[in-house]
Structure formats: C-alpha cells, structure tokens
Structure 1
C-alpha cells in the first residue's frame, strides 16, 4: 500500500539523516547528460537498469517511477537547473519505513580523455525507520554499483547518439 512521505525541500539534500553521495566522470558534455536526466525522462529504463518505468506527470512537474521488484514512486521535481542540477523528491511510495527521500544529480564540467566531459554526482538523501536507515548504510556498496553501472550505460548511450 502506498503512503505519503514528508514534503521536504531542497535543504534536505544537506540535512538528511542518511546521505549517500556517489560521483563518476563521463565523456559526454553536461548539456547531453542533463537532457538525458531531465528531458528524456521516459528514457531512464534504457540506461538505469533498476528502473522499469519512468514517465513525467503533472505537465512535467513530477514523475512516476517503478523499479525492479515492484517499488513505486510518485515524485515532484524540486529543481531543474540545466545543465547543472536536477533534483526530485519522493511524495508517495509503497516502500515500507521510508519517511523522506530526495535525490540530487549535480553536473559539472570535467576533462575526460581527449576532451570535455561531465562529473556526475548523485546524492541520495533519506530519512526512515531505524532498520531502513541501517540497511541503506549497509547497502551503500550496492547502491554505488547501481549508480556506476547506470552512469556507464548512460555514457555509452550518449556516445552512440552523438555518433
């Protein structure tokens, strides 16, 4: 059964009880990475394998997301500051124990290989019941691997589109 989460704001990214931050550099420019994150919402399942469905809602002010295993999210976009930042908050979910969740994607120029690329930083900021907080801290490596694999797949997808 779905339940509502706390309507936290952008400041939650810095103040959440659990903050997991992952970063990786890719060869695609920030504008291309941002477009894949914020503009091509329905394309997420093509590069983030944990995502089975992602579609805009509310005329682009929100998203509906479904993950492998059946977890569902209704989200609100908190910031879409292209090409530097894309932030969304989970408003409703069927994930038990979750009280608040905000994800922030920060993009900055980086020198990668033979040319300019992007440093992609993902912050997973959450609050939940103590067992969930503990499990998430223990599961940090798995979440980091999912991020790394997703960003690697996104980089390959963007390279293929640019070719």
Structure 2
C-alpha cells in the first residue's frame, strides 16, 4: 500500500465533502444482510462484482477492486441490528484523502432496506470524477444488493 489516508471518524458520514447515498430493498432479514457484510467478508466477490478479493483482518478488512485498487480498512461500527461502517486507512488509489462507507440496515415489512453511504474527500477533480461516476456506483450497488438477496435466499434452509 502506498498511501495512508486521513483517519476520519463516524461523523465523516455526515460531514464529508462528497456523500453519495444509495438505497434498495431486499427480502432478506437485517441479521442475514449484516452477516454477509461483516462476517462473511471473503464472499463479497460472489455478490459485489467490483470486489475481486476481500479478507478479514484484525479490526478490519483488506479489499481489492476491479481495476487494481487495493484498500486496507478499519471497522468503526458493527451493529448487527442496524449498521456496518468502515473507513479506508491505506490505498494505492491516487488522490483520495479520506473514504468511509456506511451500510445502514432498516427492517421493513418485506425484509430490509439497505442504505449505502459513500463518503469521500479528495481534490476537486477527483470529487468531480466520482460525482460523474455516481450512476455507475448506483448500478453496482443495486446489482450487488440483488445478488446478495438471491444468495441469502438460496442459502436459507
């Protein structure tokens, strides 16, 4: 890993210079979604196609993305009933100053509302590029939640 990022806290999800928020409904219960996010880390590539490798580390995760990005993350909040939050501590991605992701899980009558907040800081050209790519991130999120929901349903007894 080449670069260390700013060690932002949980408040960054609200104060980041750029916040992209996506939401989708799934039929799976919040606990099952939480397990997939926080406990079955190595399975992320099976349902989130942007992820090529993920593994749990002490206090966090190591992740590789399509295109070659590598991330070392620290988990900041892990509440099985409501959310999973991590920040990127180190990356080989140029320009990033800080990156935090929050997955909020809200029970619904039909399953779970999954909300993903992508909170980022960097120079203006980088933030403009991320804004430009918002629709692609949204599509990746929707595809991932759909695949995750199907995977959870297939594994259910």
| TM-score by shorter chain over 0.5 | yes
Displacement, 1:129?
1.2
TM-score, reference length from structure 1: 0.94
- 2:11 is aligned with 1:17: no
Q: Could you say which residue in structure 1 is the equivalent of 2:86?
A: 88
In structure 2, C-alpha distance between the alignment counterparts of 1:130 and 1:96, rounded to whole Å = 13
In structure 1, the gaps of 5 or more residues are: none
Say whether residues 1:99 and 2:85 are aligned partners.
no
Note the alpha carbon deviations across 1:52-80, whole angstroms, 9 max, x for none: 1100112xx11000001100000000000
Matched, 1:123 2:117: yes
The ranges of structure 1 where at least 4 consecutive aligned residues each deviate by more than 3 angstroms after the TM superposition are: none
Which residue in the other structure is 2:126 paired with? 132
RMSD of aligned residue pairs (Cα, Å)? 0.8
1:159 alignment partner in structure 2: 153
When the two structures are superposed, what TM-score results if normalisation uses the length of structure 2? 0.98
Match of 2:66 in 1: 68
Q: Determine the C-alpha separation between the residues in 2 that align with 1:35 and 1:119.
A: 15
Distance 2:140 2:91 in 1: 20
Q: Give, in angstroms, the shift of residue 2 of structure 1.
A: 1.6
How far residue 111 of structure 1 moved from its aligned partner, in angstroms, is: 2.1
Q: What runs of 5+ residues in structure 2 fail to find an aligned partner?
A: none
